[in-house]
Amino acid sequence: MTQQGAVLQGYNNELVKCIEDLCMQKEELNKQIQQAEEEKNKLQHEIQVLSEQLDCVCENLAQKVASRNELDKILAETEAAYMKILDSSRTLLNVLKKEVGSLRHSPDLKTN
């Protein structure tokens, strides 16, 4: 009977050792889980910060594009108006040259 008790004690010791090993594995896994959760939270915070920065950049970009489009419109209108002024100036110059030419051939302006 003593021998059976010793065998049983041996089994019990092994069982306790296995349970202790499992508990140590669980503790190590808990540490890894905690580290992973901390890393996840850190990354989620960084994503939120970057998302807010992206929103600001996108809004700023949209405002700048709208301003550029408005400047393009103003520039196009100004260039068109300037071309009309040039065309009118050319027409006025041509009319003036014709008038001056007509006056030179007029008998009233001829000098003796």
Instruction: Look at residue 105 and give its three-state secondary structure.
Output: coil
Coil, helix or strand for 71?
helix
How much is the pLDDT for 64?
A: 98
Are 103 and 109 in contact by the 8 Å Cβ rule? The answer is yes
| pLDDT exceeds 60 at position 111 | no
Neighbours of 81 (CB within 10 A): 10
pLDDT of residue 2: 85
Average pLDDT, integer, range 18-23: 98
Grade residue 104 by pLDDT with cuts at 50, 70 and 90: confident
- The Cα 40–Cα 46 span in angstroms is 10
Instruction: Supply the Cα-derived Rg of the chain in whole angstroms.
Output: 47
- The model's pTM: 0.59
Average pLDDT of the residues in 29-54:
98
Residue 92 has what pLDDT? 96
Q: b/e per residue, 69-80, with b = 16+ CB within 10 A?
A: eeeeeeeeeeee
